[in-house]
Structure formats: structure tokens, C-alpha cells
Amino acid sequence: MYGGAEVVAVITANTLAQSGCDVVLLANRKVDQAKTEEMVGESLDTSIEVIVDPAFLRPRGPFHLYESAVRTLTFKKKCDILVDTYSCYIFPWIDVSYMHFPYLNNYEYRPKFPYVKTPHLQHVAALPYAILEKNLESYDRKLILANSYFTAKAIEESLGADSKVLYPPIPSTFFEKSFENRRQTREDLAVTVARFGWGKGVELVPEIAALTDKKIRFIMIGLAHDPNVIQTVRRRIKKLNLEARVKIMTNAPRQDIKSILGKAKVYLHTTKMEHFGMSIAEAMAVGCLPIVHNSGGAPEFVPEQYRYETLREAAEKTERAILEWSPERENEMMKIAERFSQKNYSERFMTLFREYVESTYRKN
């Protein structure tokens, strides 16, 4: 399953390869070129050497960071500059790190002894690395990229490190048609695209739907990550008598997701403190009006009139957006989303990368 981190990895690798760099990609599994083209809009550049090295531990589990450390340290021997767009750990041998968020030190550890905030197994297991990352690691010779100013602030606060903001790229597949050719009939429909897992806030969608006009329908689309979350959502839908208005779609093909978004007037995002929100930007790229929680990185690009604090406010703004949707509003959203095009991402990445190489390596 491709997510935001995988999209960033593929586009970054292609950007480097197409700029004349010799690129070697370390992957957990063999790259599916057809899937890559479907998700990103282009396949992985054929000049890129792919090394498949399966990971055995759960991502961001208590011991996963040490597995990542061993894998990347071994990989470092094969390259001059090591770029990590996935792990969100900044090991001493990483040169360029794209940080989706500094998960470890931001939440789980104190800046000084006794360090551990809650003595759970995973916190204790990760303590040696947490101490290294916060207190011993030097970031002066690294290029740290943050996916939003929100994340950049968290990096500075938790690690004391400076970073450059580079918003993640929206796949070109979301910009396939011009504004003039995108005209179609929109429905009184609000769509949510999010993994069915705890922490995504998907269980709040039925609560919001219950507060809106009965003519508005909702579709929830996402990876069936946790069956318990799906059952919780289904129970709430039934309890609130919303079976006719709120539908669940799991593991939907990418093309189906884009088609549904193209028919909707509203994109409803219920995750709080989203670090950036690629699904929000993607929905805006196809003309949906985004209704999002007023936190995290989303306020950096979502207009204030579409941001909410409470569930009732979310319902009210969803109703208003449905009523006020127009081709002009559609164009406004799509123009905002253009800031995050693959072209803009690639150009800024290469500017920052070249500056880093010039200042760090060629003086030595």
C-alpha cells in the first residue's frame, strides 16, 4: 500500500536520477512499477538501482528504529550521500532527512534525566537512541527537510535542530486535466479519505454527519488497517440511523478514490494535529472544499473559513460549503493545491540539495 511517505520517496528518487545523479533505492519489497505509475503518475526511473531488503519489524515499533539503524548504516557504504525520506529517525550517518514528524522525542521523552515520561517497554527500549538524538547528535552537517512549518517547529523544539520546509508533492495524477476541462456535476457529498486506524478521527465522521442536513451524504474511504475501528464506525452509523447517508469503502483503488472526489463538493478531514495532510491537498487539487480541524500543518494552506474547532462547527461549515460550492471556489482550491505540484517539489528539493552539497562536501 502506497502512502505519503512512499510517494515522497519515489518522487525524490526520480528527481535525483533525472538531475543526473546515480541513485540506489533501498526498498522493503520489489517495486511494483504499475502501482507506482498509478499512485505517482510516473514509474520509478529505470536508471535507479533497487536493492530489496525486507524489514521484519513493525514500523515505529519499540525495536524498529534499531533495525532501521542497521539497514541504513549498511546501505551507507554503497553511496556518497544517504537520503532518508521514510524513517523519521536522524541517524549520525544520514546526510539528508525528510521528516514527516519527529515522532520519538516529541512525545515520549523528557529533555533531561530521568528522560522517560512513561516507563513502557517501547519507551525504555528506544531510550538509548532518544538520548543520542536529543543530546549527542550533531545536525550541522545534515540537511533536514520538514513537511510543514508545524513540523519544523516541532523539530526545533524537540531536537534543537534547524530544518528547511519542503511541502510534500501531490502526485501529478491529481492534475491530469485543466481547470476548463474539469467541469462536471457535483453532488451534495462529503468525502473522507483516511486509514481506518486509531488516531485518525474517522469515528467522528458519523457524529458530524448526524448534525448536518439530511440531504448531505458522506463516503468514508480508507485502508482497512484496524477491524476494530471499522466496527466502531459501523456501530455509530447504525446508532445514529445514518445507514442511508454514510457509506464505508475499504481498500478502494486509487482511480475510484479520485473519481469519487471529483463528484464531491466537500472533503471532510477529522484528524487533529495533522503534520501536513496530503489527502487534504489532493482533494483540493480536484476541486473539493476542505473542512479540516484547525490544528497542525493544515492552517498553512487551508483558508480560515474552512477550518473548525468543534464537531458542531465542522457540521455547520460542511453544510455551508455544500451550499456555497461553485466552479469559482473549485478553481480557488485547485490553485492553492498547485503549490504542491511534483514540479515545484522537485525544483525546490534540487535547489536545497545542491546548496547542501556545495556547502558541506566541496569545501573539504
The least confident of 147-161, 170-184, 300-314 is 170-184
Q: What is the pLDDT of residue 174?
A: 85
pTM recorded for the entire structure: 0.89
Q: How far apart are CA 157 and CA 144, in angstroms?
A: 14
Concatenate the DSSP letters of all residues of 110-171 into one string: -SSTT-BSS--HHHHHHHHHHHIIIII---TT-EEEESSHHHHHHHHHHH----EE-PPPBP
Please give the average per-residue pLDDT across 108-126, as a whole number. Answer: 65
Q: Compute the CA torsion angle 215, 216, 217, 219 (nearest 10 deg).
A: 180
Are residues 7 and 42 in contact, defined by beta-carbon separation less than 8 angstroms?
Answer: no
Q: Where are the domains of the chain?
A: 4-169+341-360, 173-340
In this model, does residue 134 exceed pLDDT 70? no
φ, ψ for residue 310, nearest 5 deg: -120, 165
Name the DSSP class of 54. Answer: -
Q: What is the pLDDT of residue 105?
A: 63
The CATH number of the structural domain formed by 4-169+341-360 is 3.40.50.2000
In this model, does residue 359 exceed pLDDT 50? yes
Q: How far apart are CA 264 and CA 284, in angstroms?
A: 11
The set of cell numbers assigned to 328 is 469559482
Contacts of 179 (CB under 8 A, 6+ apart): 330, 331, 334
How confident is the model over 195-249, as pLDDT tens digits? 999 889 999 999 999 999 999 999 999 999 899 999 999 999 999 999 999 999 9
Cβ count within 10 A of residue 306: 22
Res. 181 pLDDT band, cuts 50 70 90: very low
Give which of 312, 285, 294, 279 is closest to 191, Cα–Cα.
Answer: 279
The set of cell numbers assigned to 308 is 473548525
Q: Which residues is 193 bridged to in the sheet?
A: 221
Are residues 280 and 267 in contact, defined by beta-carbon separation less than 8 angstroms?
Answer: yes
- Is the fold of 4-169+341-360 the same as that of 173-340? yes
Q: What is the pLDDT of residue 15?
A: 97
Helix, strand or coil, per DSSP, at residue 243: coil
User: Comparing 185 with 251, which gets the higher pLDDT?
Assistant: 251
In this model, does residue 354 exceed pLDDT 80? yes
Share of the chain above pLDDT 70, in %: 85
Name the DSSP class of 44. Answer: P
How confident is the model over 19-75, as pLDDT tens digits? 999 999 998 888 889 888 887 888 999 999 999 877 665 555 556 777 888 888 888
Residue type, 346: S
Distance of CA 326 to the CA centre of its chain: 28
Q: What is the pLDDT of residue 106?
A: 62
Architecture of domain 173-340: 3-Layer(aba) Sandwich (3.40)
Are residues 269 and 298 in contact, defined by beta-carbon separation less than 8 angstroms?
Answer: yes
The set of cell numbers assigned to 35 is 502501482
Residue type, 295: S
Are residues 76 and 93 in contact, defined by beta-carbon separation less than 8 angstroms?
Answer: yes
Please give the average per-residue pLDDT across 319-340, as a whole number. Answer: 96
Are residues 297 and 277 in contact, defined by beta-carbon separation less than 8 angstroms?
Answer: yes
Q: Are strands 96-99 and 83-84 parallel, antiparallel or unpaired?
A: parallel
Q: What is the pLDDT of residue 140?
A: 85
Please give the average per-residue pLDDT across 168-181, as a whole number. Answer: 72
Are residues 268 and 190 in contact, defined by beta-carbon separation less than 8 angstroms?
Answer: yes
Are residues 98 and 147 in contact, defined by beta-carbon separation less than 8 angstroms?
Answer: yes
